[in-house]
Amino acid sequence: MSKYQIPESIAALLVYYSLATWLILVSNNRYYLMFRFATCLMVWSCLSVKVWIGATSILCRYEQTRPYLVAPGIAIALIWMSRLRADLQLARQHKRRKRLLKRASDVLNTACQGFLSKIQTDPACCLPEISLDQLSNRITRGARNIQEGDALVTRFFGRYMRLTY
């Protein structure tokens, strides 16, 4: 073993934990709710490099497995391609839904043209005034719900607030 070679047990652990983390991330972050695309891409890249380094350091030890040094890279590329295909299919479905909803909203806009402006000015359609005590109770209850929720609730709420405001 040369002084630059990774010990086989450490390389195996590197491959195992990096691959497990990578596969969990690929399968559980389908809609990019846990991590954004750019963050996810960076983490996937780092984990892919770790898997490739560990797998090639294990394979290069043995003479008979040296021709298979490209295999880990090909396996990683195939998984990346399948995820890319799933992302493109998801984007296609989103565009199809958006097109359908756009047509429906156009039909509704032409049918209800001018109606919404009348509702906004009609005093019978106004909501009652909210008191400061009610507003304070609502905010306190909402903050308590978020505080009692788990990490994903807090993360999703924070992401919602970032998108909304």
Residue 17: predicted pLDDT: 92
**Above 80 in pLDDT, residue 137?**
yes
- Which two tokens mark 31? 């809609």
Q: Among 53, 54, 55, 27, which residue's Cα sits nearest to residue 40?
A: 27
**Residue 4: pLDDT band with limits 50, 70, 90:** low
Contact 51, 15 (CB under 8 A): yes
Q: Radius of gyration over alpha carbons of the chain, in Å?
A: 26
Q: Average the pLDDT over each of 15-24, 28-37, 65-74, 156-165 and give the range with the smallest value.
A: 156-165
> 155: Cβ–Cβ under 8 A, 6 or more apart, which residues?
34
**Dihedral, CA of residue 94, residue 95, residue 99 and residue 104, to nearest 10:** 10
Distance, CA of 86 to CA of 27 (rounded, Å): 11
pLDDT tens digit string along 87-131? 889 889 989 999 999 999 888 888 888 777 777 778 888 778 888
Residue 163: predicted pLDDT: 58
Residue 2: predicted pLDDT: 58
The better pLDDT of the pair 7, 115 is held by 7
Residue 33: predicted pLDDT: 80
- Altogether, the residues listed in the chain come to a count of 165
Distances (CA, A) of 100 to 92, 103, 105, 151: 12, 5, 9, 35
Number of CB atoms found within 10 A of residue 19's CB = 20
Distance, CA of 101 to CA of 121 (rounded, Å): 28
3-state secondary structure of 29: coil
Helix (H) or strand (E) holding 13: helix 8-28
The better pLDDT of the pair 157, 129 is held by 129
List the chain domain ranges: 1-120, 130-165
**Percent of the chain surpassing pLDDT 90:** 8
The chain-wide mean pLDDT, for the chain, equals 82
Residue 135: predicted pLDDT: 87
Question: In Å, how far from its chain's centre is CA 14?
Answer: 24
**Residue 36: pLDDT band with limits 50, 70, 90:** confident
Distance, CA of 126 to CA of 119 (rounded, Å): 8
